Amino acid sequence: MIINTPTYSISDHVSLDENNGEFDTSPSVYEPAEDTFLMLDVFELDLEQVIKNRLSKTNMTVGSSTKCGPLMVVELGSGFGILTAAISKALSDTLSSIAVGAHCIAVDMNPTACLKTIMTCKLNDVEVDAVRGDLLTWMRRPETTNISNDSNKEVFGPIDILLFNPPYVRGPKGELAPTPRVTKIDTNDEAKYQKLVAVEDAAWLGGGPDGVDVLKRALHQAADLLSEYGVFYALMIDYNYDALVRDEMQARRERADQNIYYDDLNNIELTTFGSSPANRPLVCTRILSRNIIGERLAVYRIYRPIDFN
């Protein structure tokens, strides 16, 4: 077992020792559910070999140790912070023989989710910095900073492992994603559903007509902010992925790219994200999928292929 499920509390109160008080957190943070656990299963399957085969290529520690260097881990829309806690705990525990540790940053628009994330990490005895922000808009750009060892290399971003369980549900009217999340609701209960949909802060179903708008924004940012061998784990529902594939094929057709039919459907090249998409395409590979109460969910690893020259 590489990834242990973190401890978490769904109590409506968050207590932080420096505040002597409690924060009422109900009912605005998305609780860990099947999609969360699918992500954990993917880490179990994929993380160890990603660290060994990819991330240790730039992070290898010189000298006696052969461990992978510090990993920069960022989770978007962290909610309860389960994914961050799980990875951070694994890196300091079951994976500590192959990596020297991680710095974890958890991002959420919802201040209560930021507090929940901090609480979950405390419960699991791991460190996290929470940032209240919109995806990666708060992060420094590689071209604007002075990093000592990047002088004559192609410039990559700082993120080694990026995690996102995005708002993947289609908005009934193609709603855009506004502000914080509400708790999971029963879509069969029509009256309650309509009432909650009216609440403007239902960010979890604010993914636009294909449910994929927020993920696409994240992909644009990730393409510029991932490290050279960095990986982005993202969860999608079947129609999210279909929309990504459709958009990709359309972009290729528009620029008269002949290469339309050669991709394996579980392993597609994405050539439209980031500031220089043509030079540095991303590959999106399905790691694991599962049927969950009428939804077909899958987790993909998005990364740059390793150049073996």
Partner 1 sequence: MKLLTHNLLSSKSLKGVKVGYPLRIVAKDVKINESKFNKEFVKKIIPKLDWQVFINAAVQIGHNNDLSDELIDDYENNDEFLKKVHHLLVEIEIINGELICPETDRVFPISDGIPNLLLNVNEVP
The residue ranges that bind partner 1 (CB under 8 A) are 16, 18-19, 59, 61-62, 65, 67, 69-70, 72, 100-101, 103, 105, 109, 111, 114-115, 118, 127, 129-134, 137-141, 144-149, 158
Residue 111 or 209 with smaller CB distance to partner 1: 111
Residue 58 or 187 with smaller CB distance to partner 1: 58
Residue 141 or 246 with smaller CB distance to partner 1: 141
Residue with tokens 């860990």: 32
Query: In terms of C-beta density within 10 A (0-12 exposed, 13-18 middle, 19 or more buried), how is residue 218 classed?
Result: buried
> What amino acid is encoded at 117 in this protein?
T
Q: How far is the CB of 105 from partner 1 (least distance, A)?
A: 6
Q: How far is the CB of 188 from partner 1 (least distance, A)?
A: 33
Q: How far is the CB of 143 from partner 1 (least distance, A)?
A: 9
Q: How far is the CB of 161 from partner 1 (least distance, A)?
A: 14
Residue 7 or 145 with smaller CB distance to partner 1: 145
* Distance between CA atoms of residues 237 and 38, nearest Å: 12
| Alpha carbon distances (Å) from 26 to 16, 22, 126 | 16, 12, 24
Q: Any bridge partners for residue 291, and if so which?
A: 296
Residue 10 or 147 with smaller CB distance to partner 1: 147
The kind and range of the H/E element at 245 are helix 238-254
> What amino acid is encoded at 161 in this protein?
I
The kind and range of the H/E element at 71 are strand 71-76
Q: How far is the CB of 145 from partner 1 (least distance, A)?
A: 5
Count of residues for the chain? Answer: 309
Q: How far is the CB of 37 from partner 1 (least distance, A)?
A: 26
Count other Cβ atoms within 10 Å, centred on residue 66. 10
Residue 101 or 209 with smaller CB distance to partner 1: 101
Closest CA to 77 of 45, 113, 108: 108
* Distance between CA atoms of residues 227 and 234, nearest Å: 16
Encoded tokens for 264: 């394996």
